[in-house]
Amino acid sequence: MGAGVAVRGNNLSGGQKQRIMIARALAGKPRILVLDDASSALDYRTDAKLRQELHTHYQDTTSVIVAQRVSSILNAGHILVLEEGECAGYGTHQELLESCREYRLIYEQQMGAKEGATA
């Protein structure tokens, strides 16, 4: 089979540790869920699966997601963009593409979008 989990999960990858922490948080069917950069060590496919599961099975859960990956928050109802601790923009993905330079630049850099393109 495989080796067991070492004390404090020292033999687990960062992504494996994050998946366990997310599973523990979701197991209690929380009313409010705070994920602070919880998918940073996940591959894009696992991150996408997580987002789909949250959307499908946790619709009644208020989710606060702190993310550096734009793909993690594209479908969020409300996005707050922070730049050096200050609010640089607030709105939906589409609204921010149109109104927030910082968000648009991050989106273009991460998603390979052309200047002025929208999702």
Predicted model pTM: 0.73
Amino acid present at 111: M
Give the per-residue pLDDT at 105: 96
pLDDT digits (tens, 9 = 90+) for 24-41: 888 988 999 998 888 788
pLDDT digits (tens, 9 = 90+) for 62-118: 999 999 889 889 989 999 999 999 999 999 999 999 999 999 999 999 998 654 445
Burial of 39 (0-12, 13-18, 19+ CB in 10 A): buried
Pair 47, 39: CB distance under 8 Å: yes
Instruction: Kindly state the average pLDDT of the residues 48-73.
Output: 89
Give the per-residue pLDDT at 40: 81
Domains of the chain, first to last: 1-73 (3.40.50.300), 77-119 (no CATH)
